[in-house]
Amino acid sequence: MYFPSSSRVTRTVYGCADVLTSAGVYNGIFPSVYVVQWNRSYQDPGYNSYNVCLPYPVPGYPHGNPTQNEYFKCHAGDLSFNFGNTNRVGFPERDENDTPFAQLTVDYWSAFARSGGDPNPDMGYLMSRGYWNTINQIGVSGQWEPVDAETPQSPRLLQMMWNSYMTDFVQVEQCALVSQPLDYFVD
């Protein structure tokens, strides 16, 4: 299973659902769960009516610097990358990594569909097609790890950005506070 959480707003609404779904791996409901949080987004203007969901223009980045990690990321900010259509819909390149990031995202989704549930692309497949941007990025970030059933108190997720990395869930304590702890569904 693959559970994206694209923004701080989305994580507020769906973050505990990710935690609870991940708990399903601990009691065998799901054979594997891969969780991602998007920390690089490109907001469609239709979802950004108040113009708060993009990084602010700064010198050298007239369309905003997407590496500013703490700009307000809104729901659906991952869609243009997921579908690989940032250029097709006319979004301007904010930096040299927007297109390679879209390629990486599509390669993860394609691997997920091709394998029946594992978003990690096969390196032989990538190499035979010359997908060097994805190969190089995975070389930096490492493999996307599934939630580990052996460590139920410290689930991990992929922080999706350029460069991505594995990190601990940030909502575990918050979800426990609202009576949705990691062991909510565990016998």
Which residue range forms the structural domain that includes residue 156?
A: 2-177
Residue 185 lies inside a defined structural domain of this protein: no
Residue 184 lies inside a defined structural domain of this protein: no
Residue 59 lies inside a defined structural domain of this protein: yes
Residue 10 lies inside a defined structural domain of this protein: yes
Residue 120 lies inside a defined structural domain of this protein: yes
**Whole-angstrom Cα distance, residue 15 to residue 94?**
28
Question: Terminus-to-terminus CA distance in the chain, angstroms?
Answer: 21
Q: Structurally, how many domains does the chain consist of?
A: 1
Residue 182 lies inside a defined structural domain of this protein: no
In the prediction, which pLDDT does 6 show? 45
Instruction: Concatenate the DSSP letters of all residues of 60-72 into one string.
Output: TBTT--TT-TTS-
Q: Give per-residue pLDDT as tens, 19-52.
A: 777 777 877 888 888 988 888 888 887 777 677 7
Residue 125 lies inside a defined structural domain of this protein: yes
CB-neighbour burial class of residue 49 (10 A; exposed 0-12, middle 13-18, buried 19+): exposed
In the prediction, which pLDDT does 14 show? 66
Whether 116 has a pLDDT exceeding 50, the answer reads yes
Q: Give per-residue pLDDT as tens, 47-102.
A: 776 777 877 888 999 988 888 766 777 778 888 899 888 888 888 999 999 999 99
Q: Considering the entire predicted model, what is its pTM?
A: 0.85
Residue 171 lies inside a defined structural domain of this protein: yes
